[in-house]
Structure 1
């Protein structure tokens, strides 16, 4: 049975390597065929090789851990892009009350069961959320480090690059802000 299947596959592959002929028929139409015409001048065509696509290797299979959970390369970093956006790059962030929002760029979209949480100055900040716009409230003036992490339950899955920026707040004891009599 295997020999028959192999012969059948070889027979099917033969036409793929066949020669192509081109000629003009009696009505002036150009004809392409895999068999040379009888009694008509024809031209043998050399075709470029067909395009091929290499099959991609499947992602590595999940490996069982001692605690019964599984890990894979995808679970190690499930997001190709995870970064904070809309933060100042060169200048100070002016937030007179110390409150501001930052956006999170994720690719692919946030998975079910995952939540986002800010890391402010190396410590978790605020409640985890599924919304990619997070808010910092009443941050002290001065330099801060901010990142975002993805949580699965209470376990961190992935963290963004840390951004350093400065919050500029107006000092309310400033003589310029005092009311004049």
Structure 2
């Protein structure tokens, strides 16, 4: 297969090295061609050498920030205010977390949460972030430091459990309204 491909590429390159002829046709137009005309005076056109470009070594592919170590810009980057020994009680699944950063957040950086390994919410420049309507159960939460849309640093994930009240529980239903008795 490779010899066939190499032969085809060479065949395509041959016309690029052919001789060029110049002549004037019967209407007085200048014509350039790769074959000398019959019965007309023509001259060979000498072309300057073609440009040559050296092959560049392939560059390393762009790496995925999630799969490589990110450069540590902040000495301390961690989520705080998340209970780890007990379940987080949030009946509507909404709660806030704080981010501890040292040094302070740079003006060109922003913070975005990562809930269960997926980006969560909008990037903001304040160290207090809100999580809204999280299902009950076990979750992990981390914070990304972004420069534009690029992740420049990520905190270690913190595991936690959300406990929500089951509103369909019979114990939480209001008692039925008393029915009026007919008077005799």
TM-score (norm 1): 0.59
For 1:128 and 1:172, locate their aligned partners in 2 and report how far apart those are by CA, in whole Å.
32
Q: Describe the SS at the equivalent of 1:150.
A: strand
Does residue 1:145 correspond to 2:140, yes or no?
A: yes
Q: Deviations over 1:114-166 (max 9, x none)?
A: 00000000100000000100000000000000000100000000000101110
Q: Describe the SS at the equivalent of 1:112.
A: coil
Does residue 1:154 correspond to 2:152, yes or no?
A: no
For 1:116 and 1:66, locate their aligned partners in 2 and report how far apart those are by CA, in whole Å.
26
The 5 Å alignment of 1:1-181 reads 76-181=71-176
For 1:118 and 1:90, locate their aligned partners in 2 and report how far apart those are by CA, in whole Å.
21
Q: Describe the SS at the equivalent of 1:138.
A: coil
Shift of 1:91: 0.1
For 2:95 and 2:61, locate their aligned partners in 1 and report how far apart those are by CA, in whole Å.
43
Q: Deviations over 1:79-119 (max 9, x none)?
A: 00000000001000000000000000000000011000000
For 2:81 and 2:128, locate their aligned partners in 1 and report how far apart those are by CA, in whole Å.
10
For 1:82 and 1:179, locate their aligned partners in 2 and report how far apart those are by CA, in whole Å.
46
Shift of 1:66: 9.9
- Unaligned 5+ runs, structure 2: 1-59, 63-69, 177-184
Q: CA-atom RMSD, angstroms?
A: 1.7
Query: May I ask how many residue pairs the two structures share in their alignment?
Result: 110
Larger gyration radius, structure 1 or structure 2: 2
- Unaligned 5+ runs, structure 1: 1-64, 68-74
